[in-house]
């Protein structure tokens, strides 16, 4: 098996994923491409799905949730403009894959998940992988994380009917929030919201399809 083991194929698949799904669709940020090449996405899915880990679609995580399509993770990460040392809040830990990508960019990551088994397995997985700059919370993330606010960046990886008010309040100035927002369940427009000099500026980008953001300020 020497030299032809599955690990080598996975690495090649990951490189192909970055080239064909991410670079080819216009994500050019070299840091984002580097971390997408580095983080072993196949370790964030259940064993039976490992052969599909680098394919161009979301995958089920159990509990009705999904790990987002690789391109969508890369696109949202590029829109966030993460720099080392920034405090980044993620709503919807899921598998922990997006949190690992943010940590690899040097961010201090705060991630909130409401489904206990997902929260627990993501925390175990990321701790075992050696990530030290990720903090985890089991809660309704539409309330943010007031004790740790303000955050320079926020990314919401589930789709809700509106931008949760507590997130805007906990966003630093300057700050940036990337979030999919309705019109309906299962279909959202990706929004980039900036806070600058006390003003909120929102820009609406393309259509995406995330699982529901539920909770006090969700569906
Ligand atoms: N970022 C994840 C993908 C998440 S899927 C990854 O990289 O794997 C969306 C996640 O958001 C699900 O795990 C879901 O349980 C969670 N979620 C939905 N509403 C939430 C809320 N109000 N607070 C926290 N997590 C929420």
pLDDT value of residue 105: 98
Q: Tell me whether residue 121 is one of the annotated catalytic residues.
A: no
Q: How far is CA 216 from the centre of its chain?
A: 21
- Topology (CATH level 3) of domain 58-208: Rossmann fold (3.40.50)
Residues with CB under 6 A from ligand 1: 65-68, 91-92, 94-95, 97-98, 112-115, 118, 140-142, 157-158, 211, 213-215, 218
Question: Relative to the CA of 214, which ligand 1 atom is closest?
Answer: 19
Question: Relative to the CA of 99, which ligand 1 atom is closest?
Answer: 7
Of 30, 26, 31, nearest to 71 by C-alpha is: 26
Task: Give the chain's largest Cα–Cα span.
Answer: 60
pLDDT value of residue 184: 86
Ligand 1 pocket test, pick from 61, 70, 93 with the greatest ligand atom count within 8 Å of Cβ, gives 93
pLDDT value of residue 29: 98
Q: Which of 68, 95, 108, 121 is catalytic?
A: 68
Per residue of the chain (219 residues), what is the pLDDT tens digit? Answer: 445 555 568 999 999 999 999 999 999 999 999 999 999 999 999 999 999 999 999 999 999 999 999 999 999 999 999 999 999 999 999 999 999 999 999 999 999 999 999 999 999 999 999 999 999 999 999 999 999 999 999 999 999 999 999 999 999 999 999 999 998 887 899 999 999 999 999 999 999 999 999 999 999
Question: Relative to the CA of 217, which ligand 1 atom is closest?
Answer: 22
Domains of the chain, residue spans: 58-208
pLDDT value of residue 1: 46
Ligand 1 pocket test, pick from 96, 104, 114, 116 with the greatest ligand atom count within 8 Å of Cβ, gives 114
- Is the N-terminal amide bond of 150 cis, ω within 30° of 0? yes
Query: For residues 38 and 10, what is the distance between their CA atoms, to the nearest angstrom?
Result: 12
How far does the centroid of ligand 1 lie from the alpha carbon of residue 184, in Å?
17
Q: How far is CA 165 from the centre of its chain?
A: 20
Return all residues near 42 (Cβ < 8 A) that are at least 6 apart. 10, 14, 50, 53, 54
Query: For residues 103 and 136, what is the distance between their CA atoms, to the nearest angstrom?
Result: 13
How far does the centroid of ligand 1 lie from the alpha carbon of residue 109, in Å?
15
186: left (phi over 0), alpha (psi -120 to 50) or beta: left
pLDDT value of residue 205: 97
φ, ψ (nearest 5 deg) of residue 17 = -55, -45
Question: Long-range contact list for 42-46, CB < 8 A, 24+ apart?
Answer: 42/10, 42/14, 43/125, 43/129, 44/95, 44/96, 44/97, 44/100, 44/125, 45/95
């Amino acid at each position: 098996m020497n030299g032809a083991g599955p690990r080598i194929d996975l690495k090649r698949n990951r490189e192909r994923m970055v080239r064909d799904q991410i670079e080819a669709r216009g994500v050019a940020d070299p840091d984002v491409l580097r971390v997408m090449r580095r983080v072993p996405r196949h370790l964030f899915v259940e064993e039976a799905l490992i052969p599909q880990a680098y394919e161009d679609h979301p995958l089920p995580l159990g509990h009705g949730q999904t790990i987002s399509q690789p391109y969508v993770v890369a696109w949202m990460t590029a829109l966030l403009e993460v720099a080392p040392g920034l405090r980044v809040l993620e709503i919807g830990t899921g598998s922990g894959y997006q949190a690992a990508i943010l940590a690899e960019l040097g961010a201090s990551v705060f991630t909130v998940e409401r489904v206990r088994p997902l929260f627990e397995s993501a925390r175990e997985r990321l701790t075992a992988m050696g990530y030290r700059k990720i903090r985890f919370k089991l809660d309704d993330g539409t309330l943010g994380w007031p004790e740790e606010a303000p955050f320079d960046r926020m990314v919401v990886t589930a789709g809700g009917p509106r931008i949760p008010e507590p997130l805007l309040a906990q966003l630093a100035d300057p700050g940036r929030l990337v979030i999919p927002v309705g019109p309906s369940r299962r279909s959202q427009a990706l929004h980039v919201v900036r806070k600058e000099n006390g003003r909120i500026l929102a820009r609406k980008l393309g259509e995406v399809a995330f699982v529901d953001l539920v909770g006090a300020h969700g569906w």
